[in-house]
């Protein structure tokens, strides 16, 4: 098939628009990469003496599980709050309704409120299918430069102690709502983009390898699809190996993401896995699979760490089906409580983190399917 002379000018105009759009994206991403290389993205330190913990309820089941998280925090940190060393600050407006009204994934005033906090404990947020409204999580990770998504998975009786380091600010997600559409009379196509930078890869690799060194881990799995995605994943794998030269005590293994997905359920192999480094999309998928092995996505927490800010959240979504069924009060708060243990540890409240973690271990061996969120919290409060 050949295009006739009438169609060619029309499609060429569309192609020119797409090329201009791509140029803007490339310029923006190159500037970001150069800033990282120069170290100008780092923004360390807060002016407040008290530790400020932002609490955002989010959408769907978020208000239920976050209500319980806030209640639990007020008990765990009651002395620090009374002494003025810790402040719990409610972040309003991080809801789908408010975001759609403003036409922004995270409205500017909400983002400024979040930036006034040291850490954010965040409930799940809903991202509409289609349209151009970006995921609130993607926006927050970019705007706060939360480059490391850290997700621990532990199944003691099976010898599993995994920690996943997912690159959080690049890959397919960073420009996931800013792709190109090319619509002509003869065909229609869409293009999305995957971004990998040397600086972004170096810092996630170092974060994972520093963690391995500090915790006595000896094995790192680099998970990509570098045999197919030769430029982006090829760079990611290659730079991880460059960084690994600074950590000669570590054993570095390369895995393709599809084979890793299969081997997470291989009982003979999976005990050998310890620390994982993954690009954004693969990390999102693989960590959900790993959480399912632990007991479901409702049992795993997530930390998003940057040089200045940190955000902690449940790894599950806003559960619209549970909401539609009128079962919000039965939402399992275990995942956000897991995230709280990570947040407490991050803030230096190590003993409080360990106490909550031990209580959660007792809770997670129970069947919580018919248990209200408030009752789960009450049980944990009895244990701690």
Q: Does residue 77 form part of some domain?
A: yes
Query: Residue 48's pLDDT band (boundaries 50, 70, 90)?
Result: low
| CATH code where residue 96 lies | 3.40.718.10
Give CA–CA dist 334/363, Å, rounded: 8
Residue tagged 């959480």 (tokens): 291
Per-residue pLDDT tens digits for 81-114: 999 999 999 999 999 999 999 999 999 999 999 9
- For 318, which DSSP code? -
Q: Does residue 115 form part of some domain?
A: yes
Q: Does residue 169 form part of some domain?
A: no
Among residues of the chain, what percentage have pLDDT more than 90?
Answer: 74
Cα distances from 340 to residues 189, 267, 360, in angstroms, run 43, 30, 11
Q: Does residue 381 form part of some domain?
A: yes
Per-residue pLDDT tens digits for 146-167: 999 999 999 988 999 999 999 9
CA angle 126, 168, 68 (to 5 degrees): 45
Mean pLDDT, range 265-289, rounded to an integer:
96
* Burial zone of 207 (CB within 10 Å; 0-12 exposed, 13-18 middle, 19+ buried): middle
Q: Does residue 311 form part of some domain?
A: yes
Total number of domains in the chain: 1
Residue 74 has pLDDT above 90, yes or no: yes
Please report the pLDDT score of residue 326 as a whole number: 95
3-class DSSP assignment, residue 127:
coil
Residue 1 has pLDDT above 70, yes or no: no
Give CA–CA dist 263/274, Å, rounded: 13
Q: Does residue 351 form part of some domain?
A: yes
Query: pTM to 2 decimals?
Result: 0.85
Q: Does residue 261 form part of some domain?
A: no
Q: Does residue 320 form part of some domain?
A: yes
Could you list the residue range(s) of the whole structural domain that residue 382 is in? 42-146+306-384
């Amino acid at each position: 098939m050949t295009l006739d002379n009438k169609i060619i000018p029309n499609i060429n105009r569309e192609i020119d628009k797409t090329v201009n759009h791509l140029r803007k994206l490339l310029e923006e991403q190159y500037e970001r990469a150069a800033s990282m290389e120069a170290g100008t993205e780092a923004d360390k330190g807060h002016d407040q003496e008290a530790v400020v913990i932002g609490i955002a309820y989010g959408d769907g089941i978020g208000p239920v599980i976050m209500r319980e998280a806030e209640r639990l925090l007020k008990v765990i940190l009651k002395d620090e709050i009374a002494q003025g060393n810790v402040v719990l600050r409610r972040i309003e407006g991080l809801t789908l309704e408010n975001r759609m009204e403003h036409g922004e994934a995270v409205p500017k005033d909400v983002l400024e409120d979040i930036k006034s906090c040291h850490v954010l404990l965040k409930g799940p947020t809903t991202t509409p299918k289609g349209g151009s409204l970006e995921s609130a999580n993607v926006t927050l990770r970019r705007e706060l430069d939360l480059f490391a998504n850290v997700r621990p998975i532990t199944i003691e009786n099976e010898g599993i102690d995994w920690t996943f380091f997912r690159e959080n600010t690049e890959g397919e997600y960073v420009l996931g709502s800013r792709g190109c559409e090319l619509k002509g009379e003869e065909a229609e196509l869409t293009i999305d983009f995957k971004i990998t930078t040397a600086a972004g890869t170096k810092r996630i690799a170092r974060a994972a390898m520093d963690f391995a060194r500090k915790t006595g881990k000896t094995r790192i799995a680099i998970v990509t699809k570098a045999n197919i995605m030769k430029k982006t994943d090829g760079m990611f794998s290659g730079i991880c190996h460059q960084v690994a030269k600074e950590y000669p005590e570590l054993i570095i293994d390369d895995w393709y993401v599809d084979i890793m997905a299969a081997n997470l359920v291989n009982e003979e192999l999976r005990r050998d896995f310890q620390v994982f480094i993954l690009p954004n999309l693969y990390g999102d998928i693989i960590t959900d699979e790993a959480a399912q092995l632990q007991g479901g996505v409702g049992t795993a927490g997530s930390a998003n760490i940057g040089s200045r800010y940190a955000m902690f959240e449940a790894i599950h979504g806003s559960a619209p089906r549970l909401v539609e069924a009128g079962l919000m009060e039965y939402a399992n708060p275990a995942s956000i409580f897991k995230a709280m243990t990570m947040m407490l540890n991050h803030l230096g409240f190590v003993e409080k983190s360990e106490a909550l973690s031990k209580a959660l271990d007792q809770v997670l061996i129970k069947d919580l399917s018919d248990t209200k969120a408030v009752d789960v919290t009450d049980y944990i409060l009895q244990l701690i």
